[in-house]
Every structure is written in C-alpha cells, then in structure tokens.
Amino acid sequence: MNKTRQKDLGTPASAVEETVKVEIDGLPATVKAGTSILRAARESGVDIPKLCATDSLKPFGSCRLCLVEIEGRKGYPASCTTPVEEGMKIRTQTSKLSQLRRNVMELYISDHPLDCLTCSANGDCELQDMAGAVGLRDVRYGFDGENHLDAPVDASNPYFQFDASKCIVCSRCVRACDEVQGTFALTIEGRGFNSKVSAGISEDFLDSECVSCGACVQACPTATLMEKSIVDHGQPDHAVITTCAYCGVGCSFQAEMKGGQVVRMTPHKDGQANHGHSCVKGRFAWGYASHRDRVLKPMIRENTSDPWHEVEWDEAIQFAADRFKAIQKEYGRKSIGGITSSRCTNEEVFVVQKLVRAAMGNNNVDTCARVCHSPTGYGLNTTLGTSAGTQPFDSVMDADVIMVIGANPTAGHPVFASQMKRRLREGAQLIVVDPRAIGLVRSARIQAAHHLNLLPGTNVPIINALAHVVVSEGLADENYVSERCELDSWDSWKAMILRPENSPEAVAKISGVDAEEIRAAARLYGAAKNGAIYYGLGVTEHSQGSTMVMGMANLAMATGNIGRSGVGVNPLRGQNNVQGSCDMGSFPHELAGYRPVSDVKVRAQFEQHWGTTIDPEPGFRIPNMFDEACAGTFKGMYIQGEDVAQSDPDTHHVEAALRSMECIVVQDLFLNETAKFAHVFLPGTSFLEKDGTFINAERRINRVRPVMEPQQGKDEWRITQDLAQALGYPMNYDTSAQIMDEIAELTPTFNNVSFAFLDEVGSVQWPCNDKAPMGTPIMHVDAFVRGKGLFVETEYVPTEERTNRKFPLLLTTGRILSQYNVGAQTRRTANNVWYGEDVLEVHPSDAEMRGIKDGELVALASRKGDITLHAKITTRVKPGVVYTTFHNPETGANVVTTEYGDWATDCPEYKVTAVQIAPASHRSAWQDEFAARSEEQGRIAKID
C-alpha cells in the first residue's frame, strides 16, 4: 500500500457521546453509539473491504463489498450503512462473505483496464487493494463483453485528469463535491451500464462549475481522477505535515515527496482548521516555489538604474548594514525602519521587529496588516479587550443565523466557506452585507435570506440601523448586557443608536438599501438563538474601518452573541500569518502580545531579555514612512516579503517615496515590483523550506515544517540575524525553536507554546498559558478579556472621497478564488488559466450609458490617476458601482486608489474610490511607464 495514504475509517465519526459494546469476530469492542459497523471494525483493527465508503462522506451503500453477518439477523447487511447496536455480534469473515465479495469484485474487474503495472495509481489504488483483500484470482465473466475501456480522458483541468475508462461509478467524487466542497459540479448521468460521472452537460472539467478544490480527486479510490503531478512523477515515498502558505484559514497539508521533490499536496485529515479539505491554491498552486523566476543568490547595486551584481551572503549583508549605518549617521536613528511580512513565520517576523527595535534602535516597524486588518485589532481590543476573532471555525456549525459582511469567503477563504455552506444547507439562515452579489448570495442549494447591497462607504450607517431595529423592537438581550457589559456605555450607545438618523428609513437614503430589507435582516439576526458575524476587508479598508468593527461588536454584545459556540465576531484574515505577524509585535506602538511600547514595565521585560534599551516612542506606520520619505527624512527600509509598490494605495505616492530612499533591502522569492526600487535583494525561502509557525484567523498556531533545505542556502531568520549582527547587535539563535521559546517567555498569551508542544498536540489556539494549558478555542466565555464589554458610539462620518459629476461612480476592490493578493505566487502557476488579468465589473446600465461593451478596453480614472482594463458587464454589481481585483502589477489598480485611511489605524480606504469610466483604445500613461520600467529592469536584471 502507498506509504503516504492517510488512514480511512470508512464512515464519519459519530457525534454521539454514549458508547455501546459489541463483538467483532469474537473480540469485544466499545464504540460510540451511531458508529457504522464498518468504522467500528476499522477502529478495532479489522479492515472490512470497502469501495464506495470513505470517512469524509456519508455512507452510500452502493458497492456491496462491505457485507457482514450479524448474529440473529437474516441476510448480509452493508456494514457502512448499518450502525452498531448494544450487544451486536458481527462476523466480518466467513466463506459466504468471501464468495459474495469476490462476485462483486469480478464484476468491477471485468470492465476495468488491467494495466495496473503501468497505471499511475499502482500501489495507491483501492480497487487494486480490494482485489487482493478479497482474494480475487479469476474473472468468470471474461473481458470480452460490453465495456468502457475506450472512454476518453478529460485532461482539461491543469492539475488533474479524469480517465473515465477506470471509473467504477462509486459516486465518491460526486458526493465529495456535494458534501465536502458544496459546489455540486458533478453528477452521475445515465443508468445501469450507461451511468457515468459528468461535470455538466457536454462540458469538460475546465468549463464546468468545478472550482478545482481537489476533493473529488482525494475521494476517488481508483486512478480515474488523478493529479497530473503523480501521473508525471510517480507515487510519493514519504510525507511531511505542514501548513498552507496562502490564506488565513491555515489548512494543514501533507507534502508528499519523492526523494527531495514535492509530487503532491494533500489536505491533512487531522488539520483542525480544514478537517481534510482544501482549495485550488493550497492543493495545487505550489509550483511557484520552484519557478524559474525565483532568485537564489543575494544581489546588490549602487543605484536602482544599475544592473544587479550577484554576491555572497556576507557581502550583501555587509553592504546593507553599511548603508543603513551611514544613513543613520547622516539623518539620525529614526531615518530607517522595516516592514514584516504576513507570509513569513512568526519566528521570522519576530526577529525582524527585534532587529528594528534592538539593532536599528527605533520602533519604525510595521506590517502589511496595516493595510488590511489593523482596524480589527483596534476595534475588537477597544470593545472586547483582545485583538483577535472570538471563535474557532467549527463554531459555525452551531450558528443559526450567519451574517457575512464585506467578505467573500468562497473566493478568499474557500475551505471555511465550504464548512459555512454545509451549515447553511443544514438550515442556518444567511445575511450578506456587500455591495456586490458575492457567490454566497445565491449558489447551489444556498440562498441568502437577505442581501443588503449597500453603496461602498456606508457600512457604519447599516450596522447602526441594524442595531436601531434590535434595540427599538426589544430584541436586545438586556440580561446579558447588564451582567457582562459596562452599563454607562450601554446607555449612551443606546441613546445614540435610537436617534432618528440611525433608523432604517433614514439609512436607506444613504446606503441605497431598502428600509424593510434592513428591518427584516435585523429581526432575523436579533431573534436568532445563535447569531454569528464573519467579516473581511470590506469592513476594515474604509475611513471608518475601526468604527465599523466596533459597530459589529456592539451589535453582537447587545444581542448576547459573544462567548459560546455558534456566535461571535470573526475577522476572516487575509494572508496566512496576518494574525501572527500582528501578535509578534510588528506594530510601531506595540511589542509582542499587543503590549504598549510606551509602558515602562513592558519595555523593561524586553530590555532585560534583549540586553538593550528600547525607544519608548512609537515609531512610524507604513504610510508615515512613505510620507517621511517624500519629505526627505526617512531614507532606508528593510522589507520582508511584501510588495508595497503593488499592494499599497496611491501608487504614484508610494513610487515617489521608494525612489527617494537611499537603501531599500527587499527580502523575497522574486524580483517583485518593490525590488525595482531596491539596492539589496536578499532571496527568501518558500513555505516548503521554512521551519516555524503560522497563526490562522481562529488564533490557531500551526506548525510549518520544512520538506527541503532552503534553496538559497539560508533560513530567513538567519538572514535577519546576520543583518542584526552586522549592524552591531548580537542576535544569536541556533534554531527557530529557540525563537519561539523566547516569544513564549515574553508573551503572556503564548507562555505554554513550543515546537515540542505543537508537535505533540497538533495545533493550539492562543491564549495558551497556565490558565489555559490546551489553548482557548472560544474567547470571552464567562467575561470579556477587558472585564466588562464596552459599547462605543459609532457615529457615521462619511468619507471625504465623494462622487461628483466628474467621478460619478464608486470603485470597490476585492479578490477572486484562483489568484492570491498581488499574485506573486499564483501568477507563477497554472491558476492563470482561470483568471489571467484583472477586469472591471460594470453594471449593464452604466456600461450602456457610456457605450462600453463586454470584453472591451475601458479607461478607469480617479482623482489620483488612471489605468485601463477590460470590462466585464454584469449585474453582480449594482448601478453606480464598479469592481476590480489587484492581482496583476501591469493593471495598476492602486494607481487609482486614494490616500484616505481609517481614522484610528491608517488602514487605507481601498474599498471606496470615486471614478469615471469610458471606452479606451490604448494603455494609460502610468501603464506605459510601468511597461518601460519593467522592460528596463528586465534588461538590467540580466545580472552582471
């Protein structure tokens, strides 16, 4: 049998706690009531043959291979569909059962190409295993009858193929797509001999509804659905368990290896965030790690117009250190700083903020969370007392009403979306608050009860109006509030929320959402036994991002929806380690664990440990760094795994800032857009080479384990450590485990965390300390972390970004399933087949008014700049709103976004830009300039 195949207990675990006693082949066994006989036997070490059953799917009972005998019962029931009962005596092996099973196998094998030795699944095929298990020696029916051996192979999907000639029509793929993924892309077409798996009428996989999650491939017991990487390279010989490096779901994977090469990534069944499921990015889009564009040698150059020189590590690090020291000598200690990356491990991030504080001697460190979830930290900390989400993902299975605000889970957090959809199919109700009809509004077997399609920028009035209805209609949970919240704040908030300007009728005029729809949504959430809020960047990336986060916390507290399973306020974090990079002290005003750098006691603890003094003054945030750079006072930056030139708003301003600096050090896998302005390039490591931890959106600390040596010869934390030493600060770790030990010692919420502990328990949700030795899945259970919950008044202050006659439309941005963030990784994979360029979604009425046709080039102009891109005419957006993504650098979506940001955290207002659109015939001036710069940098990137 294949060495990396995960254990399969045949049917899902029973949720019942009571146990029953049974006898299996004469041996006693105690199992949970409701367990299938098949699973009970497998749990006891008896492998009853099976084909149509697998433990990720409900039992189906179609193959008849798992038959058993039960004392006192007639016939031969299928063990996968028969639950155990107290005192049951089961026989799994008798001569009659063997004969029946062999008959079944003979039928399967008589219509199967017997090419096992050359089949890509050889050694990892359940059909092959079962032929052995039932002792099949002969096929009495012969091989000459009608068969499917000439059925075609569908190789349209870039990552897997469908070879219909090998299909045994067990339906596992169809059920996986329905039950696990929730896409319902596959069906069994026809009947009897003519039945076959189909991805849609006359459609191949690529053109079907399939979202390439891989669940069907995982479930298929034969070589019918098979990863192309296995077809090309053969079966793996060993596996390492690690964590996906894309989004904040933090799925656990088995990296399956053949020698030193990854041949497959399979979602790990024990992964507590994903329970064996995956999406197209983590499952298939890992090829970027060995892409030819990857830079593996350090490089330096005097000026950004010079060619790069490849140098040894020592020379590159000394060059960077000398430049940083010279800048500080000339412009002062605070003239340099650093940015940590949410794509890197906690250990890698921790040493960068330590480098800035201990070696550079200031607090000019910030993280890319500045531009995504910084309002989450501020808003949840202020109201509840902790800067993180309240629930584990599994909590959604107890929710009765789910409100999704400014998030697109099926695109951004697909594995969690599948779990949420499962709960919705079970009967939970859905409210979507989004300017766009995201996939969840209506999809297979899902229909939102309410879609509040508000105008971008009107989140705060909507949340106030929802709260207005809850309070005015007596839906607030007064007992919960009086027991758990600050009553003064409740009274003043209630008075504010009941003001007429917060009524649905008043808010309808501002938001464009019908007042009755707002009322109905509020009643649904307010009356729910368990109401859960999930939100994303559509909440935070606004000038009132922090206000809106507090608005949601207010509403959840008012309705008693915090502190147990099925409820909560949950940020869906963007990048894989955005929670961790914030936890690690990446903000300019906070040390690890969100403790203020201005606090003498906190500083003293770090100073003692680090043997240095720490500046008591908070440092610059990223936008301040750019402003100071343009003003000529900020001159050097160490940028870890972050492409600010593409990802940050108001590109013209960012480029001007980068151009004005004297030393930019970029540490990344690829020469990204920011590297075009850099003087030193330090090659980074992919997740396959990292040894450390990521923290997902549910505060879960997951291990990231290396499956290969760093391809450029150095762990990333060692690069930072070498730079710290070259700057004169003695940083001396031997392993990344030691860095985690220091984090644990210095951070109260991490006190009990270590690599050894994580290796033992799998993963843990912080706080994990003596008070909560096994972690804390649900926050604020008996009391809020801050003591009493604080209601904060959330007055609506409209953004300064306004539409007018010149810029009458509102642009909002987001992302799609197949691409990820700035696209540096996914654009270097076959995922481009689904989405090769950013397009502009335009409502048909706005398009018609301007003579814009589907697929044609349009100019998109704002007060900040203009770009061109192709139009997609769709009713997904409402009239007056246009939408695009920012995955491709040549599009330059951020050329048009503005400098406005959240009042509390400076998180940019990516989601609201006043624009005009018009048909176009050529690229914009910025795009011409970008193309010229790319060509020039491409030419000089040909290393000297």
Binding region for ligand SF4 (CB under 6 A): 167-173, 176-177, 181, 183, 185-186, 197, 210-216, 219-220, 222, 224-225, 244, 246-247, 249-251, 274, 278-279, 281-282, 413-415
Give the tokens for residue 841.
């979604």
Among residues 284 and 587, whose Cβ is nearest to ligand SF4? 284
Alpha helix locations (H) across 355-458? Answer: 374-383, 409-412, 414-425
For the bound state, the minimum distance from the C-beta of residue 81 to ligand FES, rounded and expressed in Å, comes to 7
CA torsion sign for 808, 812, 813, 816 is negative
Q: Which residue has the tokens 């490591």?
A: 685
Give the tokens for residue 627.
């402003």
Report how far residue 57's alpha carbon sits from residue 39's, in angstroms, rounded to the nearest whole number: 12
For the bound state, the minimum distance from the C-beta of residue 126 to ligand FES, rounded and expressed in Å, comes to 10
- Residue 167 contact partner, candidates ligand SF4, ligand FES, none, CB within 5 to 8 A by sort of partner: ligand SF4
- Residue 251 contact partner, candidates ligand SF4, ligand FES, none, CB within 5 to 8 A by sort of partner: ligand SF4
For the bound state, the minimum distance from the C-beta of residue 335 to ligand SF4, rounded and expressed in Å, comes to 38
Among residues 235 and 278, whose Cβ is nearest to ligand SF4? 278
Give the tokens for residue 901.
């940001």
Among residues 274 and 328, whose Cβ is nearest to ligand SF4? 274
CB of 288 within 8 A of CB of 825?
Answer: yes
Among residues 155 and 449, whose Cβ is nearest to ligand SF4? 155
For the bound state, the minimum distance from the C-beta of residue 530 to ligand SF4, rounded and expressed in Å, comes to 24
Which among 665, 669, 701, 480 has a CA at the least distance from the CA of 581? 701
Which among 750, 698, 735, 708 has a CA at the least distance from the CA of 351? 735
Total residues interacting with ligand FES, rule: CB under 6 A = 12
- Residue 66 contact partner, candidates ligand SF4, ligand FES, none, CB within 5 to 8 A by sort of partner: ligand FES
Report how far residue 422's alpha carbon sits from residue 419's, in angstroms, rounded to the nearest whole number: 5
Give the tokens for residue 903.
């009042």
Among residues 36 and 751, whose Cβ is nearest to ligand FES? 36
> According to CB under 6 A, which one of 22, 37, 51, 496 is a site residue for ligand FES?
51
- Residue 78 contact partner, candidates ligand SF4, ligand FES, none, CB within 5 to 8 A by sort of partner: ligand FES
For the bound state, the minimum distance from the C-beta of residue 413 to ligand SF4, rounded and expressed in Å, comes to 6
Laid out side by side, the sheet with 429-433 consists of 450-452, 429-433, 401-405, 531-535, 569-571
For the bound state, the minimum distance from the C-beta of residue 818 to ligand SF4, rounded and expressed in Å, comes to 11
Strands 663-668 and 636-640: parallel
- The Cα-based distances of 744 to 592, 595, 769 in angstroms read 10, 14, 9
Closest residue to ligand SF4 using C-beta atoms: 282
Write 733-740 long-range contacts (CB < 8 A, 24+): 733/351, 735/691, 736/345, 736/347, 736/348, 736/691, 736/692, 737/691, 739/347, 739/350, 739/351, 739/692, 740/346, 740/347, 740/692, 740/693
Identity of the residue numbered 653: H
> According to CB under 6 A, which one of 39, 42, 50, 815 is a site residue for ligand FES?
50
Write 296-302 long-range contacts (CB < 8 A, 24+): 296/683, 296/711, 296/712, 296/713, 297/683, 297/712, 298/680, 298/681, 298/682, 298/683, 298/712, 299/680, 299/681, 299/943, 300/679, 300/680, 300/681, 301/679, 302/679
Total count of residues recorded for the chain: 944
Give the tokens for residue 639.
């940028």
Q: Which residues are registered as beta bridge partners of 923?
A: none
- Residue 51 contact partner, candidates ligand FES, ligand SF4, none, CB within 5 to 8 A by sort of partner: ligand FES
Residue 142 region, left (φ>0) first, then alpha (ψ -120 to 50), else beta?
A: left
For the bound state, the minimum distance from the C-beta of residue 283 to ligand SF4, rounded and expressed in Å, comes to 6
CB of 307 within 8 A of CB of 944?
Answer: yes
Among residues 53 and 70, whose Cβ is nearest to ligand FES? 53
CB of 84 within 8 A of CB of 28?
Answer: no
For the bound state, the minimum distance from the C-beta of residue 163 to ligand SF4, rounded and expressed in Å, comes to 9
For the bound state, the minimum distance from the C-beta of residue 139 to ligand SF4, rounded and expressed in Å, comes to 18
For the bound state, the minimum distance from the C-beta of residue 643 to ligand SF4, rounded and expressed in Å, comes to 18
Phi and psi torsions of 262, nearest 5°? -75, 125
For the bound state, the minimum distance from the C-beta of residue 68 to ligand FES, rounded and expressed in Å, comes to 10
For the bound state, the minimum distance from the C-beta of residue 43 to ligand FES, rounded and expressed in Å, comes to 16
Among residues 327 and 816, whose Cβ is nearest to ligand SF4? 816
Among residues 82 and 503, whose Cβ is nearest to ligand FES? 82
User: Between 1 and 40, how does the x/- string for binding to ligand FES read (CB under 6 A)?
Assistant: ----------------------------------------
Stretch of residues binding ligand FES (CB under 6 A), selected from 50-58, 268-276, 554-562, 633-641: 50-58
Contacts of 201 (CB under 8 A, 6+ apart): none
- Residue 565 contact partner, candidates ligand SF4, ligand FES, none, CB within 5 to 8 A by sort of partner: none
Residue 176 touches ligand FES, criterion: CB under 6 A: no
Distance of CA 39 to the CA centre of its chain: 32
- Residue 64 contact partner, candidates ligand SF4, ligand FES, none, CB within 5 to 8 A by sort of partner: ligand FES
Residue numbers 72-111 binding ligand FES by CB under 6 A: 78, 80
For the bound state, the minimum distance from the C-beta of residue 182 to ligand SF4, rounded and expressed in Å, comes to 9
User: Between 596 and 635, how does the x/- string for binding to ligand FES read (CB under 6 A)?
Assistant: ----------------------------------------
Please tell me the chain's helix, strand, coil percentages from 3-state DSSP, rounded to the nearest 5: 35, 20, 45
For the bound state, the minimum distance from the C-beta of residue 57 to ligand FES, rounded and expressed in Å, comes to 11
- Residue 50 contact partner, candidates ligand FES, ligand SF4, none, CB within 5 to 8 A by sort of partner: ligand FES
- Residue 63 contact partner, candidates ligand FES, ligand SF4, none, CB within 5 to 8 A by sort of partner: ligand FES
CB of 707 within 8 A of CB of 240?
Answer: yes
Among residues 361 and 412, whose Cβ is nearest to ligand SF4? 412
3-state secondary structure at position 798: coil
- Residue 279 contact partner, candidates ligand FES, ligand SF4, none, CB within 5 to 8 A by sort of partner: ligand SF4
Q: Which residues are registered as beta bridge partners of 569?
A: 533
Among residues 65 and 521, whose Cβ is nearest to ligand FES? 65
Strands 881-884 and 857-862: unpaired
Stretch of residues binding ligand FES (CB under 6 A), selected from 45-53, 755-763, 800-808, 845-853: 45-53
> According to CB under 6 A, which one of 24, 53, 280, 727 is a site residue for ligand FES?
53
- Residue 177 contact partner, candidates ligand FES, ligand SF4, none, CB within 5 to 8 A by sort of partner: ligand SF4
Give the tokens for residue 262.
């990854």
For the bound state, the minimum distance from the C-beta of residue 23 to ligand FES, rounded and expressed in Å, comes to 20
CB of 542 within 8 A of CB of 797?
Answer: no
Residue numbers 55-74 binding ligand FES by CB under 6 A: 61-66
Q: Which residues are registered as beta bridge partners of 442?
A: 447
For the bound state, the minimum distance from the C-beta of residue 130 to ligand SF4, rounded and expressed in Å, comes to 12
For the bound state, the minimum distance from the C-beta of residue 210 to ligand SF4, rounded and expressed in Å, comes to 3
Alpha helix locations (H) across 569-667? Answer: 578-583, 600-610, 622-631, 644-647, 651-659
Residue 482, class by beta-carbon neighbours within 10 Å (0-12 exposed, 13-18 middle, 19+ buried)?
Answer: exposed
Give the binding site for ligand FES (CB under 6 A).
50-53, 61-66, 78, 80
